[in-house]
Amino acid sequence: MSERYDCTDPEGRAEGIPAAAAAVRRGEVVVLPTDTVYGIGCDAFDANAVATVLAAKGRGRDMPPPVLIPTARTAQGLATQVPDHAQRLMETFWPGPLTLVLKAQTSLHWDLGETNGTVALRVPDHDITLELLGDIGPMAVTSANTTGDPAARTVEEAVAMLGESVGVYLDGGPSAGALPSTIVDCTGETPVTLRVGAISQDELDAALAPEPEPEPEPEPELGSEPDLAAGTGDTLGEQLSTTEDHSNGRHPTA
């Protein structure tokens, strides 16, 4: 029987996150809130659990789930390379509703489906999910709904669609976001937007725009140096002589 925890309550959260972590370690599937919509997920390195996630949604291996990670640094261990444009998008939008498709490390022992050697990564901006990810590590997570139905924005909607296929439901209240994450393919020389979601194309373009060149400092105008003799009635030589007298500890003669 599925367990459900009200994580909007501190006591429920204190019980729910460890319960979800234990379920994931047992190879079970959990539902969790994110900064976009509710997600259904499991240990990214448990192939049987990933198959359970896909089966619960009625989805095939041709649509592999993205992987949620706790920090941007984790991406370095999961992707073979992170190009400059991907790094700039991470710095601008992570944590947040941006999924980046990168070339996956070939040495990783996981099976997310037919990925063609890529992995879709995201750092969500949600405290409950980040706490769970900090305990479990990378999780294969996709929207909590059956294929063809709208993504769940409340845990009740997730329960209605997924039922007993889920071991633990974490209730974080209604989702703050109505749109899914934006997806950008960063496997080539230039980024390609695959889906526009919570982050607009204009926002992506602004983050990727080259930084403006600093304006050169203006050249000093000729003759702009201060006139040491101005307004004193003395010649420059007399002023320098006076300064020298002071520096030698003598008063100038009258």
Chunked in runs of 10, what are the mean pLDDT values of the chain (254 residues)? 97 98 98 97 98 96 97 96 95 98 94 96 98 98 95 97 97 91 97 97 96 76 54 41 40 38
Alpha-carbon distance 63 to 101, whole Å? Answer: 13
Predicted local confidence at residue 75, as pLDDT: 97
**CATH code of the domain made up of 3-208:** 3.90.870.10
Predicted local confidence at residue 223, as pLDDT: 59
Predicted local confidence at residue 212, as pLDDT: 76
Predicted local confidence at residue 80, as pLDDT: 93
Domain boundaries, the chain: 3-208
- For residue 30 the two structure tokens come to 């959990």
The 3-state DSSP class for residue 49 equals helix
Predicted local confidence at residue 157, as pLDDT: 98
39-77 confidence digits (pLDDT tens)? 999 999 999 999 999 999 999 999 999 999 999 999 999
Whole-model pTM: value is: 0.82
